[in-house]
Amino acid sequence: MKRGQLTVIHADGTQQSFGEPDPALKPVTIRFGAGATRRILRDPSLGAAEAFMDGDIDIVEGEVLDLLILFAANNRWEDDNSVLMPSTLKKVTDKLAFRLGRINMQRRSKKNVAHHYDLSGKLYDLFLDTDRQYSCAYFSAPGISLEQAQLDKKAHIVAKLAIEPGMKVLDIGCGWGGMALYIHQKTGAEVLGVTLSEEQLKVARQRALDAGVADKVKFELIDYRNLTGAFDRIVSVGMFEHVGTPHYRTFFRKVRELLTPEGVMLLHTIGRAGGPGVTDTFTLKYIFPGGYIPALSEIAKGYEGLRYFMTDVEVLRLHYAETLKHWYERTVAARDAIIGLYDERFYRMWCFYLAGCYVSFQYGGLVNYQLQFSRSRDALPLSRDYMFDGERELREPHKVTLRQAG
Q: What is the pLDDT of residue 403?
A: 40
Mean pLDDT by groups of 10 residues along the chain of 406 residues: 95 95 96 94 92 96 97 90 52 48 53 61 95 96 95 98 96 97 97 95 97 98 96 97 94 98 98 93 90 95 94 97 98 97 96 97 97 96 96 74 39
Q: What is the pLDDT of residue 199?
A: 92
Residue ranges in 83-197 assigned as alpha helix (H) = 88-101, 106-117, 121-127, 146-161, 178-187
Specify the CATH architecture of the domain 121-395: 3-Layer(aba) Sandwich (3.40)
In this structure, are strands 190-195 and 259-272 parallel, antiparallel, or unpaired?
unpaired
Please indicate whether residue 357 is annotated as part of the active site.
yes
Q: 370-382: string of b/e by CB count within 10 Å (b at 16+)?
A: bbbbbbeeebbee
DSSP, res 56: S
Of 165, 156, 258, which is closest to residue 216 (Cα–Cα)?
165
- Is residue 311 within 8 A of residue 267, CB to CB? The reply is no
Q: What is the pLDDT of residue 89?
A: 43
- Is residue 189 within 8 A of residue 166, CB to CB? The reply is yes
Q: What is the pLDDT of residue 294?
A: 96
Residue 262: alpha-carbon gap to chain centroid: 29
Residue 186 CB partners (closer than 8 Å, separation 6+)? 155, 158, 394, 400, 403
Cα dihedral sign, 198-199-202-208: negative
Instruction: List, in sequence order, every beta strand (DSSP E) within 28-87.
Output: 28-32, 57-61
- Is residue 32 within 8 A of residue 15, CB to CB? The reply is no
CA gap 6, 18 in Å, rounded: 5
Question: Domain spans of the chain?
Answer: 6-74, 121-395
Decide: residue 273, CB within 10 A, 0-12 exposed, 13-18 middle, 19+ buried.
middle
Q: What is the pLDDT of residue 103?
A: 53
Residue ranges in 188-295 assigned as alpha helix (H) = 198-210, 248-258, 281-282
CA gap 28, 20 in Å, rounded: 12
In this structure, are strands 15-20 and 28-32 parallel, antiparallel, or unpaired?
unpaired
CA gap 255, 326 in Å, rounded: 33
Q: Which one is catalytic: 136, 174, 351, 357?
A: 357
